[in-house]
Structure 1
Amino acid sequence: MNPTDASADDTLDLHLPEEFVALFRTAGDDATGDEFAEAATARAREDLLDGLADWGPRDTSAGVFHLVPVDVERDVALVARWMNDPAVAAYWELTGPQSVTADHLRTLLAGDGRSVPCLGTLDGVPMSYWEIYRADLDPLARYCPVRPHDTGVHLLIGEDADRGRGLGTELIRTVADLVLAGRPACTRVLAEPDVRNRSSVAAFLGAGFRLAAEVDLPAKRAALMIRERAERETP
């Protein structure tokens, strides 16, 4: 589930038109245009994933699951250990010293909010790593058709004991439910695991995704997995 390049040189620019900035002006405001632009940009950063940090926990058959945005100082050692697990390293390509993982996380957190790194906890215990991202603002959009507000997921299950027993399928379904509940404008949840990662593709299929296509991305050939918003999930 290697993510597409998260570097600042390979993202789709988010432009804030004057009419958008004007929405933040009120009568009597005397702030400069730069200050308005800064406030508008901060608001856009908060809103790109509709307050993911406040989506809250969900009950699952395995326990209470919660997506918790990463804190680098608190979480980097754990995430780095997972990234150096051979079963993970083959697809994420973030092996090496802890600084490699720290740089990756800081790049995401320093961005405009289009991709949010999270820990997935079960009953309060961190056991998985997730990146929830705006697929329509991601380099992925250069390689396959996307719709406005399409939301993507990358994930890894951290511990070997949690793999191969259906837990991934359960959590993928749960996270897709969280995305669709938390983002009313989103009609599809996307994923693009490496086609070689058969267990990942199977987990997405089991979670209600369909295989839409195989897509050649810069670092891999990906299985484009899509879960559509069901009629009963319409906001």
Structure 2
Amino acid sequence: MTPQILHLPDGKKFTVAPVFGGLGFRSHNHHNLLHPYPGGWMTVLHTEEDRVEFEGPNGGDGQKDHDENLPPQTKRRTKPFTRPTLQNDTLFISSISIPSDAEFKPAASPTREIAMMLWITLYWYFHQPPPDRELHTAASKDTPAGAKPVGEWRIRIKRDGVLRGRNLIPKLERMGLIASEDTAVGTCVDDSGDGWTNMFVSKRMFWQIPANLFLFTLQPVRGPDMPGSPSTSRPGSPIKDDPGRLDVRPMYSQSQSQSQTQTPVLTPTGALTPSGGQLAADVPGAPMPTSVVAAPAFPIGPYFSSSHLPTYFPPPPLQYVYTDGARHPLRPKPPRMGEVFYTRFVDSLGQYLSFRVASASASPVPYLGPLGPNPPEQSHLSSMSDRDLLQSWFASQRVRDFWGSYTPEFLETALCSRHSFPVIGLWDGVPFGYFELYWVKEDILGRHVGDEAGDWDRGVHIMVGEEWSRGRVAAWLTSLVHYCFTADQRTMNVCLEPRVDNQRVLRHLDACGFSKEKQVAFPHKQAWFVKLRREFWDGPAL
């Protein structure tokens, strides 16, 4: 195995390289004062296989002269990890490289820091080529290939090394990061019993875990003499006459290097402020700026928090309301205009895929999130407002055939909807398409399918505006599904209603695991009601 570069959803990078007995994870720029992670950690990853052996009359391994009255013995053989197996891989964290106390405060919760490292390790593991899922058992030995039963891809988490910490395994299980098929209380008073021995993580389970439950940053040490934060520096603040503008004030003297001026600084309260501006001190939750004088040196997205804590927020409690006679749960407010709510690096394309809420601003929405290793193409699209983008996309006959003609109030109407919100898709910050995420129950679709719509089922409307971005359906469609399933664990299905003559989209939906439920006669179209069930979804396209 050669070293690999791992791109995390928040823009951080790790080099993953083989070492004796496992893998080493080394963060890029770990000497940078404001790098948020430990310098790295070591994992022990190997493959364990059970081998049936027969004891001969002299205690040797005799295959022909063994005593038939003696049961066969199963011995476990350990091999170096080369590529994933279906269920025979074993993992634990063996050591951690802790940053200096002079640079970072110790993690407020060491358990959460270990959970973050385990999550990143699993994120790398489930990006590897998948193993053959067919089960080769005695019962299926005569079944031809392609018809054998299939199993779940999972990896065993071993209570060893760093993971031997007291009550650490039970805490990781309560976080939902690892699981066990032994769901009994048990009679052992600590976590050394058999009930905590066979812990595992499956691929299907992993991709349903919200990443912002585990990704966070360590808090830099405060201090006026801190390198990169001169005593004369201060964060910028938004210009008074333009509340949507992210202003960057001079933070360094003229004698300091240009590279230093791109370094994030610490405010007197210790909040990280990339290239100045109030935005970094308020996220998550702040309105997105409509203009930026200088790009921030630190990606600002759904995982960035000035409090250095995970940005996961649980879904709201259940309370029912009525909309046009339909009884449904009261919905949470969507993210704010211009806010990026999903990012992920797509390895097969070498770019970051992001989704943000559309904006009614007459100015273009600046992209402050992570970028891939190559300069983005078609970057001129980033200088267009969302209204201009939509108008240019509706100019395409291909779009008008399914969406109709553009109207000036199109975007404002979508932003004022109480059961849906408009979305702009971006590749490395460059807009490529328009989408709408909606709650099915109170949508027109819910009125047509009735009880077939669950209380938390989500729906998607899709429009790919840019010709250069076509052919990437699996990447962005499964990412929208990924967001829906992680935003609320009660969402059991993601639905679409493409027109019956849209054969191209129907083929893509079938390839992504959607099933045709029935045809629905809307006032404006005949459509297929298609659905992807959570139980059948095992992760986004990589």
TM-score, normalising length from structure 2? 0.32
1:7 alignment partner in structure 2: none
CA distance change for structure 1 residues 91 and 232 in 2, over 3 Å: closer, same or farther? closer
Q: Aligned-pair distance for 1:193?
A: 0.7
1:194 alignment partner in structure 2: 499
CA distance change for structure 1 residues 187 and 49 in 2, over 3 Å: closer, same or farther? farther
Q: Aligned-pair distance for 1:182?
A: 1.2
Size of the alignment, in residue pairs? 188
The question of 1:223 aligning with 2:533 is answered no
2:357 alignment partner in structure 1: 69
| Rounded Cα–Cα distance in structure 2 between residues aligned with 1:159 and 1:50 | 24
Answer 1 or 2: higher relative contact order, Cα 8 Å, separation at least 6: 1
1:162 alignment partner in structure 2: 469
Give 2:464's aligned amino acid: I
**How is 1:1-235 mapped onto 2 (pairs within 5 angstroms)?**
12-13=323-324, 47=332, 53=339, 55-60=341-346, 61-62=348-349, 63-72=351-360, 73=362, 74-95=385-406, 100=407, 102-112=408-418, 114-144=419-449, 145-163=452-470, 165=471, 167-230=472-535
CA RMSD of aligned residues (A): 2.7
Give 1:58's aligned amino acid: R
**Runs (5+) with no aligned partner, structure 1:** 1-10, 21-43
Whether the 8 Å contact between 1:50 and 1:182 is mirrored in structure 2 is no
Q: Aligned-pair distance for 1:192?
A: 0.5
2:215 alignment partner in structure 1: none
SS in 2 for 1:177: helix
CA distance change for structure 1 residues 187 and 90 in 2, over 3 Å: closer, same or farther? same
Q: Aligned-pair distance for 1:227?
A: 0.5
Q: Aligned-pair distance for 1:13?
A: 3.6
| Rounded Cα–Cα distance in structure 1 between residues aligned with 2:444 and 2:464 | 24
Q: Aligned-pair distance for 1:169?
A: 2.4
Q: Which has the higher helix share?
A: 1
Q: Deviations over 1:176-223 (max 9, x none)?
A: 111101122211000001111111111111222111111111111111
CA distance change for structure 1 residues 85 and 115 in 2, over 3 Å: closer, same or farther? same
Q: Deviations over 1:14-57 (max 9, x none)?
A: 899xxx9xxxxxxxxxxxxxxxxxxxxxxx56x15588956331
Q: Aligned-pair distance for 1:224?
A: 1.1
Give 2:440's aligned amino acid: A
SS in 2 for 1:71: coil
CA distance change for structure 1 residues 51 and 226 in 2, over 3 Å: closer, same or farther? farther
Whether the 8 Å contact between 1:190 and 1:225 is mirrored in structure 2 is yes
| Rounded Cα–Cα distance in structure 1 between residues aligned with 2:468 and 2:480 | 20
CA distance change for structure 1 residues 186 and 160 in 2, over 3 Å: closer, same or farther? same
CA distance change for structure 1 residues 13 and 80 in 2, over 3 Å: closer, same or farther? same
Identity of aligned pairs, percent? Answer: 23
Give 1:91's aligned amino acid: F
Whether the 8 Å contact between 1:173 and 1:208 is mirrored in structure 2 is no
1:41 alignment partner in structure 2: none
CA distance change for structure 1 residues 49 and 191 in 2, over 3 Å: closer, same or farther? farther
Give 2:420's aligned amino acid: S
Whether the 8 Å contact between 1:117 and 1:130 is mirrored in structure 2 is yes
Q: Deviations over 1:162-185 (max 9, x none)?
A: 22x3x1122111111111011222
Q: Deviations over 1:83-135 (max 9, x none)?
A: 2211111001134xxxx1x41211121232x1100100011110011100011
| Rounded Cα–Cα distance in structure 2 between residues aligned with 1:141 and 1:231 | 22
Give 2:458's aligned amino acid: T
| Rounded Cα–Cα distance in structure 2 between residues aligned with 1:14 and 1:124 | 40
